[in-house]
């Protein structure tokens, strides 16, 4: 698909993978709605994109709030007149053992990683159907393919994203010309570990950085651009991308 002039919504754009992808999309001529809760970060990103000659608008949006998502998606459509690409990427990973019963964190992971992605999908789909096509990219994870101790709830949330992506593709790709890509990264440098409240797992995750060279958020952005730029008849349905030195 020719990206120049297209309109994209990027959730989780205030840091990490989302911010890197928003920058690359804008550099390819895409008008980007950068969405997250931290508006200051989004405004900074918008300034940076505009200074580089791109187009972007900041959308303060908590994906767990369906009303806020509806307003945010409408803002993007009103600003640029379409929604061609939706990158459902907002997520968090406060991991711990199940027996620690950090139930608030379990619920937050399900609310953001799963329900948030559903909320955004529900708002962008009608636009894409009306336009006669589109591309939805969902951020799952290696945790959406495999299960690890300490990650039971996070893996559950990402397996849900993988399953939903495939079900969505089966329904909307042939019928509505809406391509669906599920991206499943291994370890990527970002702010993801900052929200781990469990000391043991926080330390374990930080130590991984000594064992392998993490992917950069830009590496994931490049693979997303590859899927988006594929010819119209090609749906890159899954992308499993890992650090070369990742041993699991």
Ligand X SMILES: NC(=O)c1ccc[n+]([C@@H]2O[C@H](COP(=O)([O-])OP(=O)(O)OC[C@H]3O[C@@H](n4cnc5c(N)ncnc54)[C@H](OP(=O)(O)O)[C@@H]3O)[C@@H](O)[C@H]2O)c1
Q: Is 80 a catalytic residue?
A: no
- CA torsion angle 47 48 51 55 (round to 10): -70
Of 39, 71, 161, the residue nearest 169 (C-alpha): 161
As measured in angstroms, the least distance from the Cβ of 168 to ligand X is 16
How many residues form the binding site for ligand X (CB under 6 A)? 31
As measured in angstroms, the least distance from the Cβ of 248 to ligand X is 13
Please identify, using beta-carbon distances, which residue of 80 and 154 lies nearer to ligand X: 154
Q: What track of x and - describes contact with ligand X for positions 24 through 43 (by CB under 6 A)? A: ------------xxx--x--
CA distance 214 to 202: 16
Catalytic option among 80, 127, 154, 201 = 154
As measured in angstroms, the least distance from the Cβ of 112 to ligand X is 5
Residue 150 touches ligand X, criterion: CB under 6 A: no
Of 136, 41, 141, 162, the residue nearest 92 (C-alpha): 141
> How far lies 10's CA from each of 36, 83, 152, 186, 207, in Å?
9, 11, 27, 20, 30
Q: What track of x and - describes contact with ligand X for positions 58 through 97 (by CB under 6 A)? A: ----xxx------------------------xxxxx----
Residues that bind ligand X (CB under 6 A): 11-18, 36-38, 41, 62-64, 89-93, 112, 116, 139, 141, 185, 187-188, 190-192, 217
């Amino acid at each position: 698909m020719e990206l120049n002039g297209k309109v994209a919504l990027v959730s989780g754009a205030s840091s990490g993978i989302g911010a890197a992808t928003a920058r690359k999309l804008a550099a390819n001529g895409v008008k980007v709605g950068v969405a997250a809760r931290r508006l200051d970060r989004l405004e900074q990103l918008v300034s940076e994109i505009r200074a580089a000659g791109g187009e972007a608008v900041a959308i303060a949006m908590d994906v767990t709030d369906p009303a806020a998502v509806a307003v945010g998606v409408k803002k993007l459509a009103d600003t640029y007149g379409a929604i061609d690409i939706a990158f459902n990427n907002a997520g968090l990973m406060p991991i711990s053992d199940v027996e620690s019963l950090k139930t608030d964190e379990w619920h937050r992971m399900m609310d953001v990683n799963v329900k948030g992605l559903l909320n955004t999908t529900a708002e962008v789909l009608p636009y894409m159907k009306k336009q006669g096509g589109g591309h939805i990219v969902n951020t799952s994870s290696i945790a959406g393919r495999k299960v690890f101790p300490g990650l039971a709830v996070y893996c559950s949330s990402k397996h849900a994203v993988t399953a939903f992506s495939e079900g969505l593709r089966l329904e909307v790709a042939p019928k509505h010309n809406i391509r669906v890509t599920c991206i499943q990264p291994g370890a990527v440098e970002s702010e993801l570990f900052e929200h781990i409240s469990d000391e043991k797992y926080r330390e374990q995750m930080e130590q991984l950085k000594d064992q392998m060279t993490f992917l950069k958020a830009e590496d994931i952005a490049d693979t997303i651009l590859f899927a988006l730029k594929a010819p119209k008849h090609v749906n890159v349905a899954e992308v499993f991308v890992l650090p070369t030195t990742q041993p699991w």
